[in-house]
Structure 1
Amino acid sequence: MTSALFRISFFLLTFWSLSFCAKAQETSILRINKADDLLGEGGNGFVRFVGNVEMEHKNSLIYCDSAHFFRAENKARLFGNVRIVDQKDPVITTSRYAEYDGNTQLAKLRNHVVFTNQKTTLTTEYLDYDRSGNIAYYYNDGKVVDSVNVLTSERGTYEVNIEKITFKKDVVLVNPDYTMKTNDLVYMTIPKTAETKGLTNLISKDGNTLDAKNGSFYNTQAKKFTFYDGIVETETSRIKAKELYYSELDAYYEGKEDVSVLNKERKVEIFGDVGEYWEERKYSLVHGNALVRKYFEKDTLYMASDTLISQDGESDSMKYLLAFRSIKLVKTDLAGVSDSLVYNYSDSSIQLFKDPVMWNQKSQITADSMVFYLANEELDRVLMKDKVFVITQDTLVNFNQMKGRTMVGYFKDGQMDKIDIDGNGESLYFALQADTLSQGINKTLSANIKLRFKDGAIQRVTYGIKPDGKFTPFQLVNEENSRLEGFIWRFEERPGMEQINAWRKPEEIDPNANNLFNEPEIELTLPTDEEILKSLEKRGWRPEKKDT
């Protein structure tokens, strides 16, 4: 086509466009601004423009190497180096091929699509861009990159006006500190926040994991998380809650509803309704039907209370567990109640305050204060001060009793082995014949008393200087002379696992729970023997015939 003929044709096309616009004010016209060449009208009712094509539609300038312009339908097909530039918003879209509809303002871009909005870039192979709503959709894998994060997914929607991107299916968020996987994520590009729905899994660069069954909210700049049905696990701890907040910069956790805090080094796990944990200080506060589980190799110590404080500092004085109000202790070889308790991690001691009562096998111990020591996962000894009263039952269920100012009890294989009483000692025990017949009661006053046990029953008693003793034959024994002053048998108060479970039965963590990081990136389907045989036969292979 000659240059003169092209100018005439282009003039007529421009005149037609302006005339059509005057007749249809309400219709948005796709206009041709310039092109190097016009090749005439094609058989399908389009005009073909070639070389440096520039088109205009509302606030957008459209560039490409060549175009098929369907003037009757107000549409165009764009080929080669397609570029759509929004003159109002800082949005530029490029691709190798596109279709643009001037009536619906919908651009369908294909092959090497790049959608850029300031510092946010979306790349994909298949993008529909709704210019009327300023919304971009991709359908077969896309990647969004900004100054902090890289996000990929199978499908996505970018709402430019509100800087919101919705990612669907196989979503992966990567930043310098974390990698997150989910199937439903909403990312706000301006505050750089990510909100997920459903299963969400995250791994930090340090190997810490954050998992949620019911979604999360993540401020990627402030590094603050909220996980729903969430678990955060580090090398030294594990935190779980129905609603779990975590600030990485502060190393601070806050949990609500069904909270658990596990100290892996101490093998101590704390449960409650509400909890806080400061990771660097290794300090936790849990309250609301709080429960402790101290894990041993062969046993577990349970402790219920209203409020728990755990501190695991550098010095021995800063390694303890505090429990307040309504204390209940349960272990295979002991049980106890008190108002408050201190468990020292450094020496494995349990100190009870305010009307403490401890039970071991068939023994009951009360005092104003008492300290139990554990060794090799079992009771080792107990120190008691002021108003000390020990009651043990023999084989005939008689109550042997001991009182004193201070008392030290020693255990062997989980049972009472010996007791040393110092100051104002009193003892009352039943003398038995062959462990089957009661002969009477030995009642003795002595400053110092030593008792030795066998299988939980008194075997031998040794007294200090000038003991004052009295024997009462069995025929004269009654309730009054068979009780020391202050005797109260409180065995019905002894807690067991029924009371612990009624107080709180934690929801255990499922070790086989779904995790998106466990799913293979690519699934390989191996062919069957029949499929392999058919494939070989198509390529000319025939099985060898055996000689008969």
Structure 2
Amino acid sequence: MKQWPLPLMGLLIAAGLTAAPPDKSTLSTPDLTPIAPQVPAADRHQPNRVFLERADVLKVDPDEPNVQILVGGVTFRRGDMFMYCDSARFYTDPSLPADSMEAFGNIRMEQGDTLFLYGDEMEYSGMEQRATVYGIDRDVRLINRDVTLTSPVIHYAMGINLGYYDQGGTLTDPQNTLSSLEGEYAPPTKEANFYGRVRLTGISDKGDTINVRTDTLLYNTDTRIAELPVFSRIIGQKGDIITSNGLFNTAANTTTLLDRSLVHTTDGHTLTGDSIVFDRTTGIGEAFGSMVLTDSARSVRLEGDYGYFNQQIDSAYATGRARAMEYSKPDTLYLHGREIRTFLTPDSLRLMVANPEVRFWRIDLQGVCDSMTFVQQDSTLYMNGDPIVWNENRQIFGNVIQVHLNDSTVDRVELPDFAFVAEEIEDEFYNQMSGKTMIADFEDGDIKRLQLNGSVQAIMLPEENDSTYNKIVSLESSYLDAYFANRDIERAHMWPETTGTVTPIYLARRSQLYLPKFRWETEIRPNGPDDIFPRTNPATQIISTTEEEIQPEKDEETTESD
């Protein structure tokens, strides 16, 4: 956007403008002898001079030979501008490069059939090439086709074709009305500038109300585009816009906003960014650069390098270091995906979908996967594509993971298609369980019950009374139901048949420490709200086993468990 120049009116006012109407008493000269007006024929086309075209009566005072007093049907011309009045004092000094006048009664200025200026009294300064028109009975009107400028006093700079006011005024066109303490309008360019307590009101071509409040506004009456270079508020039926650098197309009801402008809707959304394009009629907005979209009604914040928002269908999109924050619960959920979408389903479920490279962090739960759907109504995470979740020293993975959250902590984790849970005891030693399906229930962030169904396998390291670990228990069954207390297994039941082995740790081979599909991927675990973004060449620590390593030991002690 261009730099805002010093108002032309300010320069003109500084040049010596006064807003006092001319003294009408100077026309009272009863002792003067009227003479017939004589209109000279020569040199009547000098562009910057004013010429008398006609008058009913002309009077001359011998003491003021350079002053003509004109009465009745007075007409002046300056170039192609004609000036009409009932009476006037016309100052003509051959030694000066320009003429001046004072005019009274039914002031009318015309330029072609497109520009008209109406008032009650007028002063014209030939040196400054400026006419000042005063309204005594009503405001002065400057009319240019379908644009009208009104004010108690209007100045018209003929040299640059600029009308302006400094005592409060209004500009109207077929769509909008603009008012301010000071204003200027240039008929040739259709540019209008307004300063001080600026108000713009109107109805857009799409039927929406327009209401702008600011202290400086630049406007074009042809395009109906308003430039807002200072703090401004656009007020509408569906929300407000706050900007200090923006363009408002009042005809199309669209805005282009810069410098971290803010769009605020009545339904609780706010949108900001380095630049924003927003359609006030459709409620569709695009934000570029450090976009932030907040839904205060649902306690969701969406960030990204680029964002899209559709107010009508209540949907949003973010990409480029996209991050979503869900803060309806005491602990905020921070979520990243290369793309994040939020929308309403036909049955009014509020969904947040992220993919790919999904990473999330909450103080009691962290996870990664390829795609994730968050249902806000019941606070459930649906994870797909190699999902892994961590809770304290536990890691859970499978083909699909469903995480149910309550007000403050994890409530339940379900794995309907393969499940593997590992709990770190100390370096390279882990309690492990796997099965076809799993349900884990939590209470106050701690696991309370674990149910595994189908092809259940387990490796456990029971803690001895002296808080040491000296044996490895390997178990297999069809079903497992375990209860926990103080984060340790309190009791467990496996059925219908259970086989297993107990091996002293000092005799166990490395392959006996892990179930076949075990892996421990702590290096990709998000460590905080800002660690959810993709890492550059992340180092992944994977501990696994191969078929060749898994060999039975001759020294094993075989046992059965119920």
TM over 0.5: yes
Alignment of 1:24-423 (within 5 A): 28-35=49-56, 38=59, 40=61, 43=64, 45-72=66-93, 73-86=98-111, 88-102=112-126, 105-111=129-135, 112-176=139-203, 177-206=209-238, 208-213=239-244, 215-228=245-258, 229-236=260-267, 237-316=269-348, 319-394=350-425, 398-423=429-454
Describe the SS at the equivalent of 1:497.
coil
Give the CA deviation at 1:371. Answer: 0.9
1:234-288, Cα deviation, whole Å (9 max, x unpaired): 1222222221111123221112111222233322221111222221111222211
Distance 2:73 2:396 in 1: 97
Distance 1:252 1:41 in 2: 75
Q: Which one of the candidate residues 18, 23, 40 is aligned to 2:41? A: 18
Tell me: CA distance 1:66–1:377, structure 2 relative to 1, closer, same or farther (3 Å): farther
Give the CA deviation at 1:292. Answer: 0.5
Give the CA deviation at 1:334. Answer: 0.3
Q: Identify the residue that residue 6 of structure 2 maps to in structure 1.
A: none
Distance 1:435 1:142 in 2: 90
Tell me: CA distance 1:435–1:182, structure 2 relative to 1, closer, same or farther (3 Å): farther
Tell me: CA distance 1:162–1:242, structure 2 relative to 1, closer, same or farther (3 Å): same
Distance 1:302 1:191 in 2: 44
Describe the SS at the equivalent of 2:36.
helix
Q: Is the 8 A contact 2:155 2:165 kept in 1?
A: yes
Letter in 2 for 1:414: G
Q: Is the 8 A contact 2:33 2:59 kept in 1?
A: no
Distance 1:452 1:211 in 2: 56
Distance 1:408 1:435 in 2: 32
1:393-424, Cα deviation, whole Å (9 max, x unpaired): 34899411111111111111122221100000
Give the CA deviation at 1:377. Answer: 4.3
RMSD: 2.7
1:207-255, Cα deviation, whole Å (9 max, x unpaired): x111123x11111121111111221111222222221111123221112
Q: Is the 8 A contact 1:30 1:102 kept in 2?
A: no
Describe the SS at the equivalent of 2:469.
strand
Describe the SS at the equivalent of 1:347.
coil
Give the CA deviation at 1:57. Answer: 2.4
Q: Which one of the candidate residues 472, 480, 485 is aligned to 2:503? A: 472
Letter in 2 for 1:34: A
Q: Is the 8 A contact 1:99 1:109 kept in 2?
A: yes
Give the CA deviation at 1:474. Answer: 4.1
Distance 1:157 1:27 in 2: 22
Distance 1:148 1:219 in 2: 12
Q: Is the 8 A contact 2:308 2:316 kept in 1?
A: yes
Give the CA deviation at 1:465. Answer: 1.2
Letter in 1 for 2:235: I
Give the CA deviation at 1:301. Answer: 0.3
Distance 2:317 2:286 in 1: 10
Q: Is the 8 A contact 1:302 1:500 kept in 2?
A: no
Give the CA deviation at 1:290. Answer: 0.9
Distance 1:286 1:396 in 2: 40
Distance 1:280 1:256 in 2: 20
Tell me: CA distance 1:44–1:95, structure 2 relative to 1, closer, same or farther (3 Å): farther
Give the CA deviation at 1:155. Answer: 2.7
Letter in 1 for 2:214: T
Describe the SS at the equivalent of 2:183.
strand
Distance 2:417 2:466 in 1: 32
Question: Which shifted more, 28-37 or 439-448?
Answer: 28-37
Q: Is the 8 A contact 2:298 2:328 kept in 1?
A: no
Describe the SS at the equivalent of 2:473.
strand
Tell me: CA distance 1:221–1:114, structure 2 relative to 1, closer, same or farther (3 Å): same
Describe the SS at the equivalent of 1:198.
coil
How many positions carry a matched residue from both structures? 493
Tell me: CA distance 1:412–1:435, structure 2 relative to 1, closer, same or farther (3 Å): farther
More helix per residue: 1 or 2? 1
Tell me: CA distance 1:219–1:276, structure 2 relative to 1, closer, same or farther (3 Å): same
Q: Identify the residue that residue 531 of structure 1 maps to in structure 2.
A: none
Give the CA deviation at 1:324. Answer: 0.8
Letter in 1 for 2:298: R
Distance 1:278 1:34 in 2: 66
Q: Is the 8 A contact 1:445 1:467 kept in 2?
A: yes
Q: Identify the residue that residue 541 of structure 1 maps to in structure 2.
A: none
Gaps of 5+ in 1: 505-548
Q: Is the 8 A contact 1:35 1:54 kept in 2?
A: no
Give the CA deviation at 1:448. Answer: 0.4
Q: Is the 8 A contact 2:336 2:360 kept in 1?
A: yes
Give the CA deviation at 1:3. Answer: 13
Q: Is the 8 A contact 2:47 2:78 kept in 1?
A: no
Q: Is the 8 A contact 2:360 2:532 kept in 1?
A: no
Distance 2:133 2:460 in 1: 96
Letter in 1 for 2:323: L
Tell me: CA distance 1:102–1:32, structure 2 relative to 1, closer, same or farther (3 Å): farther
1:450-508, Cα deviation, whole Å (9 max, x unpaired): 1222233322221111111222234434533222112211112110226447679xxxx
Give the CA deviation at 1:434. Answer: 4.0
Q: Is the 8 A contact 2:305 2:320 kept in 1?
A: yes
Describe the SS at the equivalent of 1:481.
helix
Q: Is the 8 A contact 2:321 2:533 kept in 1?
A: no
Letter in 2 for 1:223: N
